[in-house]
Amino acid sequence: MTERPTPQTMGQQYGRRSWAEPWKIKMVEPIAMIGREERERALREAGYNTFLLRSEDVYIDLLTDSGTSAMSDRQWAGIMLGDEAYAGSRNFYHLEEAIQTYYGYRYIVPTHQGRGAEHLISQAAIKPGQFVPGNMYFTTTRLHQELAGGTFVDVIIDEAHDPTNLHPFKGNVDLDKLQALINREGADKIAYVSLAGTVNMAGGQPVSMANVRDLRALCDRYGIRIYLDATRMVENCLFIQEREDGYADRPIAAILREFCSCTDGAWMSAKKDNLVNIGGWLAVNHEDVFDLARNMVVIYEGLHTYGGMAGRDMEALAIGIEESVQDDHVRARVGQVRYLGDLLRDWGIPIVLPVGGHAIFLDARRIYPHIPQDQFPGQTLAAELYLDSGVRSMERGNVSAGRDPQTGDHRYPALELTRLTIPRRVYTQAHMDVVAESVKAVYDARQQTRGLKMVYEPKYLRFFQARFEPV
């Protein structure tokens, strides 16, 4: 642990000395809670799926931290400087420079959002029949790997699958699992290692610098490349600063450069860490992959100097990247998530621990032990929360995991969770209090709660559009 005073430790040292967000509010958007009967109607019409609710019917929206950040006054000023040339926009070169400066990769391909970049890297770097080992799957990432003919193999440490295990780096790759895969299949059957910072599906759990260094060494022995899902990498860097020896005095920006230098490239959903409402990018160090990706981007996204973004979007993104690596910003962002987590933990409500960087994950399996997993406890909890207070969360359990392409059965993941995701720079501490109190009310009524049955199931990424009814 660090000796340097942080906003949190200062509070303990001097009695009640709170920390606060490093910004003030310049423009507001009114929100309101609709009545209980209207919420019941809205939820029924949405098929008990929070993705199908209208935003207007939501009070506090914790569905996702994707594209929901508040931009700064500087970013809004950047919007006015959009160079909307079809080719060679000035804003593209700003973006390219920001990615090279803060992430350190050589070649940049802009995309409309993260999955656009996942599509390009999967098509450019996976040959049909190859395996893609990674530290736990992510929904869109794995699907693009499968559509490219690859097979995802989970090589995260076992601790990640246990929501009560307090390991400080539950996102780490288990190098023995990776070695066993290489031994079994041969290095030429490994497309690349798909490494994610703060593993979303494990509860926002970080990867240590030691782990990525060891991973680099192992991959170098076999000539295997490492591509990073950098979506929430700055949050990962805060955990390294707080928990790993030798990093307490290193700025987030320096930790980010060091971590990325152990990888061969990254894809990014700029809608998360990078503080914009839309955007993404792929960045790589090798010319072979870059050539392929830059050629493919013109088929699927747009010319390689805009990739589906307007010039103004690229300008806001370039500025957002610089703001996203500031230490006070990252501390306040993760600090707000921890504030909510501490309230819930103190009330004995089962959540995934340690609390991750972007969200609180309620452990629906332990909250509803009487609801079988094929009646979707995580989905049920999200529905109950909305009914109680108009707070919107999302399922991260059996619905999100989808079906096994071989057997056709549900995947029944070990983690059956409901996610309260905190947008960046949007809500105040008072909003967090209201959310915590609503979770408590739903938790107290848990014994009377019954599960859901799925009545409509789309083929791809079913959690977005599936519909349910009470059993």
Ligand X SMILES: *Cc1c(COP(=O)(O)O)cnc(C)c1O
Residue 138 appears among annotated catalytic residues:
yes
| CB-CB contact of 455 with 467 (8 Å) | yes
Residue 375 DSSP symbol: G
Q: Interface mask (CB under 6 A) for ligand X, residues 57-96, using x and -?
A: ---------x------------------------------
For residue 402, the Cα-to-chain-centroid distance in whole angstroms is: 18
Instruction: Please identify, using beta-carbon distances, which residue of 332 and 359 lies nearer to ligand X.
Output: 359
Whether 101 is catalytic is no
Report how far apart, in Å, the C-alpha atoms of 300 and of each of 196, 212, 240, 295 are: 24, 32, 36, 10
Applying CB under 6 A, among 50, 141, 263, 274 the residue interacting with ligand X is: 141
Where does this chain touch ligand X (CB under 6 A) — which range of 135-143, 171-179, 250-258, 374-382?
Answer: 135-143
Q: Which string of x and - marks every residue 196-235 that binds ligand X (by CB under 6 A)?
A: x---x----------------------------x-x----
Taking the complex as a whole, the smallest distance from the CB of residue 66 to ligand X amounts, in Å, to 5
Binder of ligand X out of 39, 94, 119, 271 (CB under 6 A):
271
Specify the stretch interacting with ligand X by CB under 6 A; choose among 180-188, 236-244, 266-274, 339-347. 266-274
Give me the least distance between CB of 8 and ligand X, in Å please.
Answer: 26
Active site (annotated) includes residue 290: no
Q: Is 111 a catalytic residue?
A: no
Handedness of CA 423, 426, 432, 434 (dihedral sign): negative
193 membership: H or E segment, kind and range: strand 193-196
Dist CA 230 CA 106 (whole Å): 15
Q: Does 312 bind ligand X (CB under 6 A)?
A: no
> In this structure, what DSSP letter does residue 250 have?
S
Report the distance separating Cα 373 and Cα 396, nearest Å.
12
- The span from the CA of 258 to the CA of 241, in Å, is 12
When asked if residue 400 is in the footprint of ligand X (CB under 6 A), the reply is no
- Give the pair of three-digit tokens for residue 385: 């929360």
- Number of residues this chain uses to bind ligand X (CB under 6 A): 15
Is residue 380 part of the annotated active site? The answer reads: no
Interacting stretch for ligand X, rule CB under 6 A, among 43-51, 269-277, 320-328, 422-430? 269-277
> How distant is the alpha carbon of residue 65 from its chain centre?
8
User: 297: how many CB neighbours lie within 10 A of its CB?
Assistant: 25
Q: Does 138 bind ligand X (CB under 6 A)?
A: yes
Q: Is 263 in the site for ligand X (CB under 6 A)?
A: no
Specify whether 140 is catalytic: no
Query: To the nearest whole angstrom, how small is the minimum distance from the Cβ of residue 115 to ligand X?
Result: 3
Using rule CB under 6 A, residue 140 touches ligand X:
yes
Q: Applying CB under 6 A, which part among 268-276, 409-417, 420-428, 446-454 lies near ligand X?
A: 268-276
- Tell me the C-alpha distance between 207 and 195, whole Å: 9
Burial class, 6, CB count within 10 angstroms (exposed 0-12 / middle 13-18 / buried 19+): middle
Q: Verify whether residue 396 is a known catalytic residue.
A: yes
First-last CA distance in the chain: 48
- The CA-atom distances, in angstroms, between 68 and each of 71, 115, 338, 430 are 9, 17, 19, 19
Among the options 86, 222, 412, 456, which is catalytic?
86
Q: Are strands 265-269 and 280-284 parallel, antiparallel or unpaired?
A: antiparallel
Binding to ligand X (CB under 6 A) within 110-129 occurs at 113-115
Active site residues: 86, 138-139, 229, 272, 396, 463
Residue numbers of the site for ligand X (CB under 6 A)? 66, 113-115, 138, 140-141, 196, 200, 229, 231, 269, 271-272, 280
